Amino acid sequence: MFEIVTNIFNGIKWTTFIILKDESETIKSFKDPGTFISGALAGGLARSCVISIDKGGPKGTVQSVCRRMPQLGFLMMFYATPASHMLPGLEETPFTKMVTTFLVAACAGFNMRFVCNPISRVADESLRTGKSWLQVARILNGKTILQFWYTGPNFFANALYYGMLLTVFEGLRRFSERNFFPIQRGVGGSSRAAITSGDHSQVGSSPTASSSRPPQQYGSDIYMRTALTNFFIGGVSAGVASTLCYPYSAHRYLQTVIYDSAICRGLGQTLAKEVPMMAVFFGTFSLLQPIFAPHHGVRCGFGY
């Protein structure tokens, strides 16, 4: 009995440490606007691709796309930077790496909602009342600061979903890389050498510490293969995460006034929206990340 209590205490202590460390790393992520831009553009395109499936209810098409852009931009910015500092070095303990990945991703989802819910709340009230954003913000602030988060999607439901989504995605991506599509890197634009799963080379950096070696090149074959692989894995991950999280997420959404969400119309509608949307998102993000945030390397911010 004492051993069980000790293990539970140590688990809570470790989880708290990881969350606090993630929050400190999240603050640093604001120095990585390129990842936000990649995520926002990819999120806007992904939401546009499923407009025929889910038009966004009374909010309309434009607002549905525009609200998704900052959400996924902040999500990836809050995930990639902390992951780059917290996940390397955990390869020897896969379970610890999996749990850490889940916690980092869940915190990213939670923080994203904390930032984006006030924006969505003001936009919704502005659309409903016809008043400007500034007028609505002043009215809400005059009542109570909590009005900015009222009726918003549940923080913990989103944290659970995005934690599960990115954990499954990272697991499938690593499995695919190790068994089917090992990432190659070009040295000086010519020779190819396989890199191990633990190496997360940076675009424009040298293969070794020596500055005399020619620079690495992000080959077009790696570029397209990474995007296509992440496209398919992203869709599968969304299907798995949506199915596993649906009971809790639907319960939490139905307790709010958000009845126009696909998740309130059943699991089938949720999968029909989330699977293609997240597939397009991960694929597009992988195409944009080397342009706007090349320092995250050939894995586009994943695989740390």
Which pTM value belongs to this model? Answer: 0.82
Q: Where are the domains of the chain?
A: 2-207+214-296
Per-residue pLDDT of the chain (304 residues; tens, 9 = 90+): 778 888 888 889 889 999 898 888 888 888 889 999 999 999 999 999 988 887 766 667 787 888 899 999 999 999 998 998 888 888 788 899 999 999 999 999 999 988 888 888 888 778 778 788 788 888 777 776 666 666 666 788 889 999 999 999 999 998 988 888 776 544 333 333 333 334 444 333 333 333 333 334 457 777 888 889 999 999 999 999 999 998 888 887 777 656 567 777 788 888 999 999 999 999 999 999 989 988 888 887 787 7
Residue 182, φ and ψ in degrees, nearest 5: -60, 135
Query: What is residue 258's predicted lDDT score, i.e. its pLDDT?
Result: 61
Cα–Cα distance for residue pair 246/240, rounded to 1 Å: 10
Q: Where are the alpha helices (DSSP H) in the chain?
A: 2-28, 33-49, 61-86, 94-129, 133-143, 155-179, 220-254, 267-292
- Report the alpha-carbon distance of residue 125 to residue 291 in Å, rounded: 36
Residue 197: CB atoms within 10 Å: 15
Q: What is the pLDDT of residue 151?
A: 61
The number of beta carbons lying within 10 Å of the beta carbon of residue 135 is 14
